[in-house]
Structure 1
Amino acid sequence: MLGFLVAATVLLEAVSATSLGVVSTEGGMVEGKNIRLGSQRHMDVFKGIPFAGVPGRFEKPSRHPGWDGILKATDFRDRCLQLTVLLNDVYGSEDCLYLNIWVPHINSVATNLPVMVWIFGGGFLAGASFGANFLDNYLYSGQEIADRGNVIVVTLGYRVGSLGFLSTGDAGLPGNYGLWDQQAAIAWVHRNIRSFGGDPSNITLFGESAGGASVNFQILTPHNKGFIKRAISQSGVAICPWAVNKNPRKFAEEVALKVNCPTDHNMAKCLKMTDPKALTLAGTINMSGSPDAPLVYNLVLSPVIDGDFLPDDPSELFHNAANVDYMAGANDMDGHIFTGLDVPSVNSGLIDTPIDEVKRLLASLTKEKGTLGSENAFSTYTLDWGSKPSRETVKKTVVAIETDYLFLIPTQAALYLHASKAGTGRTFSYLFSEPNRLGGIVTPFPSWLGADHADDLQYVFGKPFSTPLGYWPSHRAVSGYMIAYWTNFAKTGNPNTGNLSVPASWPAFTSNGHQFLEINSKMDSSYVQQKLRFRYVNFWTSVLPNLPTVYSE
């Protein structure tokens, strides 16, 4: 009898399996894969839906011509052509403008759900819509967010490296092709997501690092009017020092010389005819840094002010985001991965980091203000040192300097600009501080390491739930908190209000209060604070800019 009941239950579940089936889109019919997640919980997963045609070399994307029959959207498509990790070869394809969609069905077929669109990071040089993977476990699988938050998750591909961001600084090669790809995907989602059970009037962008900056660019450009309701930038905004290249011509000429193209008025024409793999290889960057030449200055394949996608400096475009709800934050040691390349001694527990290296790093980051800038910076960062700072204090200070300069201060400045220009848009600020899981266990991760760059990704995408053996209960706690805040925000514009309960009520960031939430596994209501690193924010945004400029490129 028991066997009969089990069989009947399985049969009923199969008959009532909640699925969209074949979906009609502007390009044609698509069919994904339906998976059962639990009683009355199913999900349709669509992988590799084209949102644009194969892009022309150094051209904006165009609409996909469409297809006949039913497109089986069951496998991720190639990443865009890019350098390998060792920067000595390339992989991927120019045919790469595809997106992936996770649609949860809880009790009934999804209708009118909020939509969260993910933009991956990777320094505008690398990355893919599905992220790193190990044994079919993809970092950017939207399954946990979609299932737990009852939202649709979309991840998209875009051109990176030379093919996505090379620019001659004029009409020959205006640049920003990767940003136009992202914009084409957002527009496609706006036009088509209703067929997948989504609400086109409630689209939230979210992204990390270069993806976080991209999210910011997408709400600042005038080309997305009416498409985006909310946005989340994790460890990256449009005003980060690495996010805009103010002198793209210099690097374009370097690339041209590497591929035997002239650097005169024929440069753009020649580059367009050059082998794409050779172009990608020529767009490599120097990954070594030093206190005198920090790695950040090598990140030159990035967006440009082109007079079209970005009609002005990003800091002047925040009025375009006045009615977009915006949430942004950084990790408390976001700069560690870069500091390890610029000042390698920070990762050695056995040797001191010379004070001279701290001074040289600050001199590099404030070089346009000369000696006065570096002296002011040094006194700001050593105010609490006392006469004999410990080895750990000095190392933590160096990490704080790069964290502030690269991520935290620009994020605070962007939040302030958003709040000061806000119409209906609300502003929320956070600091993520869950310690790195490898701190003190694996070299080069010191025992005092907080949240390093990209440490937040595993929690936002619910890895402690999907791969539980790799995590402790505390990691599942912080992952649950982040998914709750992120999806509540996507639903309502308020991270506290939605289907999921949260451990602390997160107040909005205002131009005079500067409230923020610190997020980690131990958090409670006392983790609501204000004026994050105010002394340092004041130095970088007020004191330093007002010193006389003695040097410029």
Structure 2
Amino acid sequence: MEKLRILLLVAFSLETVSATSLGVVLTEGGLVRGENIRLGFRRHMDIFKGIPFAGIPGRFEIPKRHPGWNGILKATEYRKRCLQVNLKMTSTRGSEDCLYLNIWVPHGRSVSTNLPVMVWIYGGGFLVGGSMGANFLDNYLYSGQEIADRGDVIVVTLGYRLGTLGFLSTGDASLPGNYGLWDQHYAIAWVHRNIRSFGGDPDNITLFGESAGGASVNFQTLTPHSRGLFRRAISQSGVALCPWAVNRNPRRLAEEIALKVNCPTDDSMVACLKMTDPRVLTMAGSLDPSGSADNPIVGQLVLAATIDGDFLPDEPGKLFHNAADVDYIAGVNDMDGHVFTGLDVPSINNPQVDTPVEDVRRLLRSYTKEKGQAGLDNAFATYSSNWGTNPSQTTIKRTIVEIGTDYIFLVPIQTALYLHAANATTGRTYSYVLSEPNRMGGLARPYPSWMGADHADDLQYVFGKPFTTPRAYWSKHRNLSSYMIAYWTNFAKTGDPNKGDLKVPTTWPKFTSSGHRYLEINSKMDKSYVHQKMRVRYVHFWASTLPNLPDSSV
């Protein structure tokens, strides 16, 4: 027994002395050193925080290569977020010096080589967010540690410009916009050029992102500038076809911003905007967080991508041929729209307050206003068809969430999946819906007991938070997290979420132009969680019936 104890101590000490680490890494900008941490027996990880992938960006300019540095860059601290409004829209935070990325590299017995790479693009309505995510007791939401360790992949997270500084456009060459998308592109290109030095495979890069980050991932697959930079992509709760993802009247918004910051709206407008204090510009792009059924918050998300003839040479729906050889997963949370409709119609979260049927009509009128009364009548008939003569309050409240989910997220995502599958050559297509109930739903809780998966509920599971903070979760949540990490990282390795190093609970079939099969992701999932034609009646209404109605003359 004593001999065994001595042997174990010797083995442990040898592992400590010879901890696997990249040490100092040579990048195109210079040398970098991160932090090496021990995760377990013969398991280590190198973490690099705050590596610049571009120089400090010029105001309303696409990024440029970083000039480099002398000596060894100490990459152990997150850098500031890009300049943005705070969550209350009352002030700003962050910096214009924000084009940095973070890298997590797992190691086993030896230093890793040729690992698959997963590049994360955060969401936040193109207004807020950061490469590290929200922080609670030094536990950052977008820490790539759990994914990298459990999936044996390299994880990269990046920063990009937001709000006015990232997306303001005049709709012409004087201020073309899409600066935040260009930042993402430059970061992805930097990863492609440099990741081999970190033990990654530059020919096996997967983009993944959520909400505006999911739409950004889709934009990156559609732009002709991305050809050859990555092989796979995952869009969670957001695609380029979402109603908030593209601004088709950017000049009007630019003039509104200009007036707010005391700039003229004539030929000197752009020069004036470039000279305006960046914090003033950023605040001018804030939105009113109080919505209503007549003026839904989603309609205020106007700082977005533009059809600039360069990064996006055409309407997104006409660019899916550029993603023909990209493997693609896209999906939705079953109550993604709740985050918006709960603000537009607050009574849906209050069991003591009735939600009138008229609120359903008001919300539908807002979403279908271009089609006038015919649009509203068709929409209401579609959503009330299974109500019966006396719908319950639960039915009415859930219908409002379903309407928001369909219009803002689900239908555009299904359309993107159809287009990807129809244009694919070698690229495979997969569809999912997350249905795990929100943890704040139930009696004496903020949300109703019928609550499903709200917007952003997927993030905690993809990033392994039930393992990072186990006391905050039940075992079923750890099961769900392990399922999502398995599907996501298997896909990053092979292009097939079922094939890789990690076991999955059931086979996820491909989405095809004829089959339309999808996977329902849930902590209880098994083979019965494979379905077909997600909410097909409502997809048909928004994608076919409504667009074919004549526009309203009012």
1:247 lines up with 2:249 in the alignment: yes
Structure 1 match to 2:174:
172
SS at match of 1:145: helix
Tell me which amino acid in the other structure corresponds to 2:112: A
Tell me which amino acid in the other structure corresponds to 2:327: D
Q: CA deviation at 1:174?
A: 0.8
SS at match of 2:547: helix
Tell me which amino acid in the other structure corresponds to 2:192: H
Instruction: Name the CA distance, whole Å, in 2 between partners of 1:132 and 1:464.
Output: 16
1:313 lines up with 2:309 in the alignment: no
Q: Cα gap change, 1:442/1:272 in structure 2, threshold over 3 Å: closer, same or farther?
A: farther
What does 1:189-228 align with in structure 2 at a 5 Å threshold?
189-228=191-230
Contact kept? 1:367, 1:551, Cα under 8 Å: no
Q: Deviations over 1:135-160 (max 9, x none)?
A: 11000000000000000000000000
Instruction: Name the CA distance, whole Å, in 2 between partners of 1:120 and 1:408.
Output: 19
SS at match of 2:340: helix
> 108, 111, 114: which is aligned to 2:110?
108
Structure 1 match to 2:514:
512
Q: Deviations over 1:58-107 (max 9, x none)?
A: 00000000000100100000000011111111110100000000000022
> 344, 359, 362: which is aligned to 1:360?
362
Q: CA deviation at 1:10?
A: 2.9
SS at match of 2:240: coil
Q: Deviations over 1:322-377 (max 9, x none)?
A: 00000000000000010011111111111221111101111111111111111111
Q: Deviations over 1:162-191 (max 9, x none)?
A: 110111111111110000000000000000
Structure 2 match to 1:333:
335
Q: Deviations over 1:261-297 (max 9, x none)?
A: 1011110011001111111111111222111111111
Contact kept? 1:318, 1:417, Cα under 8 Å: yes
Structure 1 match to 2:379:
377
SS at match of 2:205: strand
> 422, 428, 431: which is aligned to 2:430?
428
Contact kept? 1:176, 1:309, Cα under 8 Å: yes
Aligned residues with identical type, % of pairs: 71
> 57, 67, 70: which is aligned to 1:68?
70
Instruction: Name the CA distance, whole Å, in 2 between partners of 1:256 and 1:170.
Output: 16
Instruction: Name the CA distance, whole Å, in 2 between partners of 1:356 and 1:394.
Output: 10
Instruction: Name the CA distance, whole Å, in 2 between partners of 1:314 and 1:443.
Output: 40
* TM-score (structure 1 length as normaliser): 0.99
Instruction: Name the CA distance, whole Å, in 2 between partners of 1:113 and 1:365.
Output: 45
Tell me which amino acid in the other structure corresponds to 1:212: G
Q: CA deviation at 1:4?
A: 4.7
In structure 1, runs of 5+ residues without a counterpart are none
Q: Deviations over 1:45-67 (max 9, x none)?
A: 00000000000000000000000
Instruction: Name the CA distance, whole Å, in 2 between partners of 1:476 and 1:208.
Output: 20
After TM superposition, the runs of 4+ consecutive aligned structure 1 residues lying more than 6 A away are: none
Contact kept? 1:23, 1:195, Cα under 8 Å: yes
Structure 1 match to 2:282:
280
Instruction: Name the CA distance, whole Å, in 1 between partners of 2:249 and 2:445.
Output: 37
Structure 2 match to 1:182:
184
Tell me which amino acid in the other structure corresponds to 2:458: D
Contact kept? 1:83, 1:280, Cα under 8 Å: yes
Contact kept? 1:287, 1:298, Cα under 8 Å: no
> 378, 392, 395: which is aligned to 1:390?
392
Structure 2 match to 1:460:
462
* TM-score (structure 2 length as normaliser): 0.98
Contact kept? 1:369, 1:544, Cα under 8 Å: yes
Q: CA deviation at 1:8?
A: 2.2
Tell me which amino acid in the other structure corresponds to 1:361: L
SS at match of 1:545: coil
